[in-house]
Amino acid sequence: MAPARPRKVEEPPEGFQLRRDTPLGRHPLLEVFPGLELLETAKRQEPTAAGRKALYHSTSIELVADDLWMYVAPWKMPKGAPRRWRPVVAPELDCIVVGESHLRESPALTLFLDIFHELCHIQQRRAGRSLFDRRTSYVRRSTELEAYRFVVDEARRFGVGDATLREYLRVEWVSERELLELYAAMDVPVA
């Protein structure tokens, strides 16, 4: 019997960089993800050079020791926020909060997808949309669906397979039923 072929690890597009050794605290986005604004994904996300400059040069990263993924720091504590969630609040700043272990240990592809997902949320908030509407299920919020759609489409553009997308979309704060709903909304087959 032939040995099993090594499983291909899916990587982000060439040119994606991240500084895993970034110290805790607040940093310019491009200090943590240098060259991000030069990627084709950035150009699809924000087509104009002036828009990219405004987005990428005014957004910061707050690296925290908490065990979490990424989220856009609210400008004020969201109404109805779960008691267990103590977000970083950054009044009038565009700040993406990143958990230390996520930056240091997660696959580069996951970080690529996550940072562009969160940048979609920054754009949405700048357009006057609410990011923290708890009246609507997470997997039905238009802001989440748009951000996930953007990164899923980008991932497919450079050849990421459905199994990897299913794993990426699996988050611990949604039920199995909601996860299936998210797969369907993103046109990701169950298996």
4 falls within a domain: no
| pTM of the predicted model as reported, rounded to 2 decimal places | 0.90
**Per-residue confidence (pLDDT) for residue 5, from 0 to 100:** 35
Residue 191 resides in a domain = no
98, part of any domain:
yes
Looking at residue 134, its pLDDT comes to 77
Please check whether residue 16 lies inside any domain of the structure. no
Q: What is the DSSP string of 52-68?
A: HHHHHHHEEEEEESSS-
Answer yes or no: is 76 within a domain.
Answer: yes
Q: What is the pLDDT of residue 7?
A: 37
Rounded Cα–Cα distance for residues 123 and 131 (Å):
11
SS3 state of residue 147: helix
Reported for 75-81, long-range contacts at CB under 8 A and 24+ positions apart, including other chains, are 78/132, 78/134, 79/132, 79/134, 80/134, 81/132, 81/134
Q: Is residue 121 part of a domain?
A: yes
Residue 190 within a domain: no
Can you tell me the distance from the alpha carbon of 72 to that of 96, in angstroms, rounded to the nearest whole number?
4
Domain count, the chain: 1
In a domain, residue 15? The reply is no
Alpha helix (H) ranges present in 63-189? 100-105, 108-126, 142-157, 162-169, 176-185
- Exposure string of 90-125, with b = 16+ CB inside 10 Å and e = fewer, is beeebbbbbbbebbeebeebbbbbbbbbbbbbbbbb
**Which pLDDT score is estimated for 180?**
87
116 phi/psi in degrees, rounded to 5: -70, -35
pLDDT at position 3? 40
SS3 call for 127: coil
C-beta separation of 111 from 102 below 8 A: yes
Give residue 155's domain range.
25-185
Per residue of the chain (191 residues), give pLDDT as tens.
Answer: 334 433 344 889 999 999 999 999 999 999 999 999 999 999 999 999 999 999 999 999 999 998 889 999 998 877 766 666 678 888 889 999 999 999 999 999 999 999 999 999 999 999 999 888 778 887 888 999 999 999 999 999 989 999 999 999 988 878 889 888 889 999 999 87
Task: Give the Cα separation of 3 and 45 in Å (integer).
Answer: 42
Indicate the residue type of 138.
Answer: Y
Which structure tokens are listed for 167? Answer: 């794993």
Structure tokens at 128: 């006057």
